[in-house]
Amino acid sequence: MKIMNQPFSGQLGDCLIELLSSSDYHTLNIAVAFAKNSGVLRIKDSLSKFRGRGGVVNVYVGVDLGGTSYEALTALLLHSDTLNVVHSEKSQTFHSKVYQFCGENDGLLVIGSHNLTGGGLWTNFESSVHIPMSLKNAGECAIAKNVADYFEALAALDASFMPITSQEEIDKLLREGYVTKEVASLVRRASEAKKNSLRERLFGNGAPANLPLLASIEKEVSPPAVSATVEAATIDAGDGNQTIWFETREMTGGSRNILDLSKRSLVVNGDPSGTPFDLGEAKFMRGGVEFFGLSPTATDQIANITINFEGEDYFGNKILYPEGNNANGTWRLQIKGVNSSGQKITDAFRAEGEAHYLVRKVLTFTKVQGDYFYMSVFQESDIEDFKEASSILARNGSTSNARFLGLL
């Protein structure tokens, strides 16, 4: 048995990834209060490989206090064998944090404070006890039975226990307000933070703790072809919640799936000084393409990025600067990736029930790392909330009538 005090003596996310690669276990049971994309996207490939070897993943998650997102449930539905939501309509929070690995003869039980989020698995101050389990030890067998009894008790909660078997059920939770999209929560928090920006800071920045790189994503996506003479400024993804948003208006392309990305942007509010967007010019900053790791002036660059949409990874979304008859003086993001099953992201857009799903929307990209982003789509009517919450608000171009973009 050992105690993990994150981040000082390890990070649970790294531990889970290692355990999922072990042939010693055939089942993983997870019970957590909160789940976010920042955690789920970083272990989903390990979950898939575990299940590909015959492993079973069962997840029990709460939806209290806005702690679980629509995107996380969508991803978990794709990467678990059973997904269940536990919720009481009265003031009773589902607050468990249990990770149980089961094997033929041995197991491991982790109980502590770690939620299924980037913070809970890597960057927060968290503590947990890790208990090896052996079928040869009567005391450990009794503990394993207590855990099994707990999961059975949750399943017996009737109306407070909801098995999730389809995306439609997750969509209903979103419509009824039980979960929200992660960027919507980020907009709300950013607005509150701006109101409190003048508050005196009484504390420091805590202990260093980093989110992991996603090696599998890096292998599947071709790296950007960057000019040898110009280096793109890089952006630290921090806790995985760095987000840019774009007003789309009409879009271009046959499927209305091409997003213009400016070379430089007219600043409306905020100060880009000291950020990667700093252009050194009054009223202007580097364009929206900068967020994706390309230098706006190095127009010979081409990048292929991975976009996670509705829980699926779509590879090969190309960013380029058109020349010749197709040139319009701006970068373009061609949102036309394909997932591992061969489905096009444009087919996923059509499945949303609109002929041109991205037209007249607010499109957001949250950086998970390097060339991997998750995308969310919001109604055009939400744009005032996005403008209010943005730390920097600009035009996606150098004129005052260009579309809006913002950094959250």
Q: Which residues contact 170 (CB under 8 A, 6 or more apart)?
A: 70, 73, 74, 77, 164, 179
User: Mean pLDDT across the stretch 222-237?
Assistant: 34
The amino acid that residue 141 corresponds to is C
Give yes or no for residue 219 having a pLDDT over 70: no
Residue 197's pLDDT band, with cuts at 50, 70 and 90, is low
Contact between 369 and 42 (Cβ < 8 Å)? no
Give yes or no for residue 269 having a pLDDT over 80: yes
Give yes or no for residue 233 having a pLDDT over 50: no
Give yes or no for residue 188 having a pLDDT over 90: no
Contact between 124 and 8 (Cβ < 8 Å)? no
User: Mean pLDDT across the stretch 264-284?
Assistant: 94
Q: How many CA atoms lie within 13 A of 105 on its CB side?
A: 3
Exposed e or buried b for every residue in 361-377, given b needs 16+ CB within 10 A? Answer: bbbbbbbbbbbbbbbbb
Q: Give the pair of three-digit tokens for residue 299.
A: 């127009």
pLDDT score for 326: 65
Contact between 374 and 368 (Cβ < 8 Å)? yes
Question: What digits encode the pLDDT tens for the residues 167-187?
Answer: 999 999 999 999 999 999 889
pLDDT score for 342: 96
Shortest CA distance to 110 belongs to which of 41, 37, 8, 16? 16
Question: What digits encode the pLDDT tens for the residues 286-317?
Answer: 999 999 999 999 999 999 999 999 999 999 99
Query: Within the chain, what is the greatest distance between any pair of CA atoms?
Result: 76
Question: What digits encode the pLDDT tens for the residues 39-74?
Answer: 999 999 999 999 999 999 999 999 999 999 999 999
Shortest CA distance to 258 belongs to which of 249, 270, 267? 249
Residue 241's pLDDT band, with cuts at 50, 70 and 90, is low
